[in-house]
Amino acid sequence: MTVRVLRAADLTPAPWKNGGGLTREIATGPEGAGADGFTWRVSLADVTADGPFSLFPGADRTLTVVEGAGMDLVVGGEHHIVDEPLWPHDLPGDLPTEGFLLGGPVVNLNVMYRRDRIRAETAVVCGTVRLLPPPGGAVLALSLDDGAAVAGGGTGGVRLDRYDAVLAAGESPGVLRTMGQAVVVTFSDV
């Protein structure tokens, strides 16, 4: 794979079956995999109502609130208050989960991955970070604000606005520089 720039303006919103929000898929591995065929998946979810989460057998997820007051997640009957923005929260994707909004709509960054095939590490960063995909893995950087940039490496230099991303495997896309914050997700083999 070469370095790919993924623009927020090109993401197609897909409404949820339960009517509680919509999802904008950023990227999947392998590319173009459906909801059942992904090894990993990164998406933005606009949550506008309380309701159940979809089940993903064999998958784990990391949920990061990027806009809004947060949610009370009931995962397998246990409450998880997710009310600190930009703090990644890990949870199993195959336990029944209900989400309850704490103070109006939220936007969540969702990272899902098949626990028997891949490991995903999600970090919120600020400043300058060299993006390095692990051997056989991938790295995705998502800007949370306007004005981020990736310089050098496989990009040759590119500006990232809010929710734009860079995805790379096999080669470094370069150095990420943020004026605000970004999320870096690193995927590596188990």
CA distance 62 to 105: 19
Within the chain, what is the greatest distance between any pair of CA atoms? Answer: 48
Q: What are the backbone angles phi and psi of residue 58, rounded to the nearest 5°?
A: 75, 5
| Boundary of a domain, candidates 114, 138, 173 | 114
Please state whether the predicted TM-score (pTM) of the whole model is above 0.85: yes
Please tell me whether residues 87 and 180 are part of one structural domain: no
77/135 same-domain check: no
> What are 35-83's pLDDT values in tens digits?
778 999 999 999 999 999 999 999 999 999 999 999 999 999 999 999 9
Residue 163 in domain? yes
Instruction: Give, as one character, the DSSP assignment of residue 133.
Output: P
Q: Are residues 179 and 87 in the same domain?
A: no
Q: What is the CATH number of the domain that holds 134?
A: 2.60.120.10
Q: Is the pLDDT of residue 1 over 60?
A: no
Which of 94, 114, 134 is the last residue in one of the domains? Answer: 114
Structural domain harbouring 140: 118-189
Q: What angle do CA 88, 91, 92 make, to 5 degrees?
A: 150
Q: Which two structure tokens, joined as six digits, stand for 83?
A: 């009310």
Cα gap 95→57, rounded to integer Å: 8
Same domain? 124 vs 104: no
Q: Is 149 exposed, middle or buried (0-12, 13-18, 19+ CB in 10 A)?
A: middle
* Cα distance between residue 157 and residue 164, in whole Å: 14
At 87-104, the pLDDT tens digits run 999 999 999 999 999 999
- pLDDT grade, residue 11 (50/70/90)? very high
Are residues 59 and 131 both part of a single domain?
no
